[in-house]
Structure 1
Amino acid sequence: MTQKNQVKKLFDRELIAKRLGKASIFQTAEGPDNFIADLMIADLKDRLSTITRTFEKALLLAPHPDFFAKDVHTAEGPVPFDHALTLPLEKAGEATVYDPNHLTLPCNDYDLIVSLADLQMLDDVPGFFAQAQRHLKPDGLCVVATLGGDSLTELRQAWLNADVAYSGGAYARVAPFIDIRDGGALLQRGGFALPVSDLEHHVVRYSHPIALMEELRRFGASNPLLERPKSFVTRSLLAKVVENYADQFTDEDGRCRATLDLLWLMGWTPHECQQKPMRPGSASKSLKDVLGDKSEKN
């Protein structure tokens, strides 16, 4: 018998948990805040508010309590979220923790599962969707928000140019993100119907590139890869990264910009009541009958 291929471990989730556990909130120029959590939660509320459905058993998974959403409503009423962490944070107290790489939940009849800000740090994304689908009842909804698209493309370019200049090669400095074109396929691969994926594009500005790097460290997104360079970053290399970033991505007012794309993925567990595409060849009229025969030239 041949064993199933083991999923390659890409992310150091112990390191991510250690970094996230150092602070319960993130510091911005305007004061203590977790603006990424604020963006995701506000967007989640907007998206669910348009759904004409009453959810009776809902679970929200997130790597940090800042992403726990309260006072969420659909068009039919409030969503009774249970909240659980996906990383064992020391400051989280007695919070329930589930491993999203090996998702084993207490129930298999949820009608809504939401994951915020964790998919970009998972080794087995298709496996997560497949496991989430098994914990949802028919016609249940899965909603995921993750960093994706061109997020942090400026930082990636600054590091790449600095590494090439200093060592002649490139190193894994910024984790890869899911492309929107792959979103629907991931949902379908996990067994979901009616998949929807879209991107919320944001440009965040900082007083200095180091301020961006510090915020990423507190967010747990500062190079969480297992195969990251093990040697310490020298002052000269870091100075070159900052120089590259400032030269290429600084606005006229002296603040540097960073791309932040929030990828949203939504899919429903299959149910007979859902709309289905027509079977090929089953149409009663052809397109020619509707539009007329355009084959003859005037």
Structure 2
Amino acid sequence: MTTPAPLTDTHALHLHRARASTFFLQEAAADEIQDRLGMVNRSFTKPAIVTPFHQVWAGRMSDARICPDAETLALSEQAHDLVIHAMGLHWANDPVGQLIQCRRALKPDGLLIVACLGGRTLEELRSCLGQAEIAVSGGLSPRIAPMGEIRDLGALLQRAGLALPVADGLSLDVEYRDAWHLMRDLRAMGEANALAARQRTNGSRQLFEETTRLYRDHFSTQDGRVRATFEMVFLTGWAPDESQQKPLRPGSAKQRLADALAVPETPLPD
């Protein structure tokens, strides 16, 4: 049985993150997570945060254990009532393994919240780069990491053994001066191309000039700027516990739905 080739070059990813200087996506995810925690009717006393950018969270949850999103997470088993996995799962070579480790770190009935980038992220840049590369070189090379759809990411929670799984998304539409400005911002965020199968040489200037032209032609705003989509996906699951609600067995209902809603029951036509 062969081991699959890694998707991400983790050494390159660490170098990109070490040079990061802007964190607006990380900050937006952190704000959203804290809003969601405010709606949970529970106090958490042993939180842990898995994040590639500890500085984003250091001032938000001072009592939390913060650890990097390494392949092996520095979390003890059943030590936390809350684990936050913040904006690193889309680069993980083993996303299910990351979620399993988070579940093991949770106490029974502990909460896991994951924020990561979803499949619509950079859909405009992905399209323009692909068209430009076909036009310039006659082929395609990996330039933007493939990111999961909400439904697929939500299914990972069940595979990891988490209960009451929920997945939803939030789309951020950001405007840039041009495609060059967007790509520079991706480098500043530590989100530049770190795919293991990427070309090790920079693309030609012709490639990026054609990408910029296509981007301007197809995704310009009314004021002459260009738009970029960042889709953030949020996953929520609980460590299994006997106290949690469980679905009733099929056929165990003691009252018809029509009676409960006080509406007439109309049979469907044949």
Q: Same fold (TM over 0.5)?
A: yes
CA contact (8 A) 2:78 2:108 kept: no
Q: Say which of 8, 11, 31 aligns to 2:5.
A: 8
- Letter of the 2:10 partner, please give it: R
- Letter of the 2:65 partner, please give it: D
- Letter of the 2:201 partner, please give it: S
The aligned counterpart of 2:27 is: 38
The aligned counterpart of 1:224 is: 194
Please tell me whether residue 105 in structure 1 is matched to residue 75 in structure 2: yes
Q: Say which of 57, 68, 88 aligns to 2:46.
A: 57
- Letter of the 1:189 partner, please give it: R
Q: What RMSD in Å do the two structures reach over aligned CA positions?
A: 2.0
Post-superposition CA distance 1:142-200 (Å, at most 9, x none): 11111113010010001110111122222211101121111321101100011111111
TM-score (norm 2): 0.91
The aligned counterpart of 1:282 is: 252
Q: For residues 15-30 of structure 1, what are the structure 2 equivalents within 5 Å? A: 15-23=12-20, 25-26=21-22
CA contact (8 A) 1:112 1:142 kept: yes
TM-score (norm 1): 0.83
Larger CA deviation: 115-124 vs 219-228: 219-228
CA distance in 1, matches of 2:268, 2:150: 41
Shift of 1:226: 0.3
The aligned counterpart of 1:89 is: none
CA distance in 1, matches of 2:38, 2:236: 14
- Letter of the 1:42 partner, please give it: D
Please tell me whether residue 180 in structure 1 is matched to residue 150 in structure 2: yes
- Letter of the 1:294 partner, please give it: T
Please tell me whether residue 127 in structure 1 is matched to residue 97 in structure 2: yes
Secondary structure class of the residue paired with 1:227: coil
CA contact (8 A) 1:7 1:124 kept: no
The aligned counterpart of 1:247 is: 217
Secondary structure class of the residue paired with 1:112: strand
Pairs aligned (count): 267
CA distance in 2, matches of 1:157, 1:206: 17
Shift of 1:260: 0.8
Secondary structure class of the residue paired with 1:102: coil
Secondary structure class of the residue paired with 2:244: coil
Structure 1's unaligned 5+ residue stretches are 27-33, 73-78, 87-98
The aligned counterpart of 2:67 is: 84
The aligned counterpart of 2:133 is: 163
